[in-house]
Structure 1
Amino acid sequence: MAPHTRTFTTYDGTARAYRTEGRGEPLVVLPGGPLRDPVRLGDLGGLSAHRTLVVLPARGTGDGAAPADPASHRRDRVADVEALRAHLGLDRIDLLGHSAGGDLATLYAAAHPERVRSLVLAAPGTHAVGIGVETSDEEGDTVHHGDGAFAPEATRRALRALTAPVLVLAGGDDHGPTPAEAAALAVCFPHAELLVQAGAGHVPWADDPGGFARPVAAFLDPEVRTVTVDGVRLAYRVRGPEGAPPVVLVHGRGGDSTEWRKITAELAADRRVYALDLRGHGLSDHPGEYGFAALRDEIGGFLKALGLAGATVVGHSMGGAAACLLAQREPALIGRLVLEDAPVFFPVLPPRGPAGLPEEPVAFDWAVLDATNADLNAPDPAWREELTAVTAPTLIIGGGPTSHLPQRHLAWMAERVPDARLVTIEAGHLVHAARPREFLSALREFGV
């Protein structure tokens, strides 16, 4: 959605302008940087694809509303944020503050903790809580910074009432706040998470757009949770009653956890369903290292991290291949295995060449293609030989003659896996999307 400029009236009768851009629920954005046009924020590295950004510039920045006096500058702006919340008709707001806007967001959270649903502080200022307010000069004397508008001790006390989750995001360098200062800031909040974005500086979405937008979007989405496996942050969605038998859904190449929504809605009636975003996909990290072996280890790490050993694992295509490799290597981790139109580790003919560059933006890391194509072109022969090591009862679902995968390979796999059965649902490669009822029926008959 294209940016729009709108106006509202603050507590003191001042007309203020704000800018909106994007789609989804509103996210109030407080930009940092004195007297700079907030247009420079862009769409925060693509965050506008997930939320409607509501950008409120500083007084005196572009909208002609100068502060009454320097000492009242931050006091006025806190009141302006509250007036904007009322104008938007929101009982509680999701709030993002950058740089000096982070100080303002912190002060707003201290003044109105009941009005904050979630808080993101991106490369934030730390003066509001007294971090970095005092330093020593070359002679060892204390130097005070700031304009006297902060009352750090009072702010810290007030923040104890904040029940909202907080994400403090710092760059990996020392261009403020340093990772240590960001960690000290996070401690000031009752429920805070610290994320250091390696390779990013004071404007993290400019240095690494996706590396900024993905974790922020995951944090802001109440349906999404995250876990770190071998240094890679993985996003996932979970539904269903706690304590119910677990089912883990693993998407194919280029997909993500959202493609399982219809399946999840049905299974969650009596199962605890976990839909995972694999590395390089969805809202998970893009570490640059891909391939079936890396994905195999990732699924295994995910099951261990969440205590899901013995779960049913349903994998589509690439996700199914990785799950199959895991079932071979660590049989005890998987209770039941479902492989939906998954490749069977025979070399692809003709071999696939380099993926080239995408013609349009894609929702996954394009490097996944070359890495997994290399495995498809020349799979490790042991992967076929070790199919007999799979001990989990296995359901192989083929998409029939319209699938691009040779269905004879699936039949061959069903003969090699000790406890496997083959079901064909003529839907092409995307069985669970094209024929969800038949797909669910096959799962239920299999005991899922």
Structure 2
Amino acid sequence: MPQFAVDGAELTYDDEGPRDAGSAPLVFIHGWTADRHRWDHQMAHFAAHRRVIRLDLRGHGESSGSGARTIEVLARDVIALLDHLGVDRFVPVGHSMGGMTAQLLALAHPARVERLVLVNSIGRMTYSRSRGLLMAASTRVPFRLFVAANIQRAFAPGHPRQEIKEYIRASAATPREVVMTLYSAMRAFDVLHRVREIRVPTLMVHGYHDIQLPAHQMLRMAKDYQDAEIRILDAGHELPVEKPAELTAALDRFLARTPATPESPSRRPR
């Protein structure tokens, strides 16, 4: 796989599909403790007719490096890779922490982001005092137990147990420093007061059973977007692997639609 060196990290990425398709490349950004293969279904589908790029974020999957103490660092890595590949306009598709990264890209580079797709993602993590204390306490348990508990609860009830075990194993292989630092970075992430600045058409796809980042937090954010289309699917937090075909279909429909005008924004839950 090709790699790109940036600020002490070696980022592994895939760059597939026709370069002359006449549409902005899709850039898939995975979530916390995951890797670029979360997007296998979407890559296989879209690479047949447009350019698609995905990467392992620093410290994840086949990418090396640490030092990502904020989500901004991840966003800078993504834009550095796109500059290296000669990509100007693009469509970021981010899952969970990857969606946080995608929002920062839309805010920092509005002229380059053509559309935005957020999958199981929010603008700020909010929780009660008791939940906050529970989350803080969870970081004190053994590392593998901490990872297992978080990954287990990310899936909707009924997801195959063996698959969940494989995702737990892969997540636990992520360096502890990367996992814990970015866990804190997600808790500190907050662009809720700025999402009105994002004016590009935005698709928000969320799992009804998501207890990691509940759908009501996404809806709170969506009301301030200029042009937001919302889809709720029967899944948990891991939509790219729980409902891959349904997610791909939602992306297809969104990319094909004509953007709403600023005077008549689209915020239709479906």
Higher helix share: 2
2:2 aligned residue: 225
Is the 8 Å Cα contact of residues 348 and 377 (structure 1) preserved in structure 2? Answer: no
Is the 8 Å Cα contact of residues 208 and 234 (structure 2) preserved in structure 1? Answer: yes
Task: Find the partner of 1:239 among 7, 13, 16.
Answer: 16
1:162 aligned residue: none
2:34 aligned residue: 255
Is the 8 Å Cα contact of residues 410 and 422 (structure 1) preserved in structure 2? Answer: no
Task: Find the partner of 2:143 among 330, 343, 358.
Answer: 358
SS at match of 1:396: strand
Match status 1:369 vs 2:179: yes
Q: Distance in 2 between matches of 1:338 and 1:355?
A: 34
Q: Distance in 2 between matches of 1:391 and 1:402?
A: 26
Task: Find the partner of 1:313 among 77, 85, 92.
Answer: 92
Unaligned runs of 5+ in 1: 1-223
2:108 aligned residue: 329
Question: 4+ residue stretches of structure 1 with deviation over 6 A?
Answer: none
Q: Distance in 1 between matches of 2:196 and 2:223?
A: 10
Structural mapping, 1:245-324, within 5 Å: 245=23, 246-324=25-103
Is the 8 Å Cα contact of residues 68 and 182 (structure 2) preserved in structure 1? Answer: no
Q: State the AA in 2 paired with 1:236.
A: Y
Match status 1:434 vs 2:219: no
Task: Indicate how the Cα distance of structure 1 residues 370 and 355 shifts in structure 2: closer, same or farther if over 3 A, else same.
Answer: farther
Task: Indicate how the Cα distance of structure 1 residues 260 and 376 shifts in structure 2: closer, same or farther if over 3 A, else same.
Answer: closer
Higher strand share: 1
Please give the per-residue CA displacement for 1:348-404, whole angstroms capped at 9, x wherever unaligned: 442222365533783322223322332343434xx1111111122110111113443
Structural mapping, 1:182-201, within 5 Å: none
Task: Indicate how the Cα distance of structure 1 residues 227 and 377 shifts in structure 2: closer, same or farther if over 3 A, else same.
Answer: closer
Is the 8 Å Cα contact of residues 341 and 397 (structure 1) preserved in structure 2? Answer: yes
SS at match of 2:79: helix
Q: Distance in 1 between matches of 2:9 and 2:112?
A: 20
1:417 aligned residue: 225
Offset, 1:248? 0.8
Q: State the AA in 1 paired with 2:40.
A: R
Is the 8 Å Cα contact of residues 209 and 237 (structure 2) preserved in structure 1? Answer: no
Q: Distance in 2 between matches of 1:440 and 1:409?
A: 23
Task: Indicate how the Cα distance of structure 1 residues 418 and 355 shifts in structure 2: closer, same or farther if over 3 A, else same.
Answer: farther
TM-score of the two chains, using structure 2 as the length reference: 0.76
Q: Distance in 1 between matches of 2:81 and 2:142?
A: 31
Task: Indicate how the Cα distance of structure 1 residues 440 and 355 shifts in structure 2: closer, same or farther if over 3 A, else same.
Answer: farther
Q: Distance in 2 between matches of 1:328 and 1:279?
A: 21
1:392 aligned residue: 200
Structural mapping, 1:42-61, within 5 Å: none
Higher relative contact order (CA 8 A, sep 6+): 2
Please give the per-residue CA displacement for 1:141-177, whole angstroms capped at 9, x wherever unaligned: xxxxxxxxxxxxxxxxxxxxxxxxxxxxxxxxxxxxx
Q: Distance in 1 between matches of 2:247 and 2:211?
A: 15
Length, aligned pairs only: 223
Offset, 1:276? 0.7
Offset, 1:415? 1.2
1:401 aligned residue: 209
Is the 8 Å Cα contact of residues 340 and 398 (structure 1) preserved in structure 2? Answer: yes
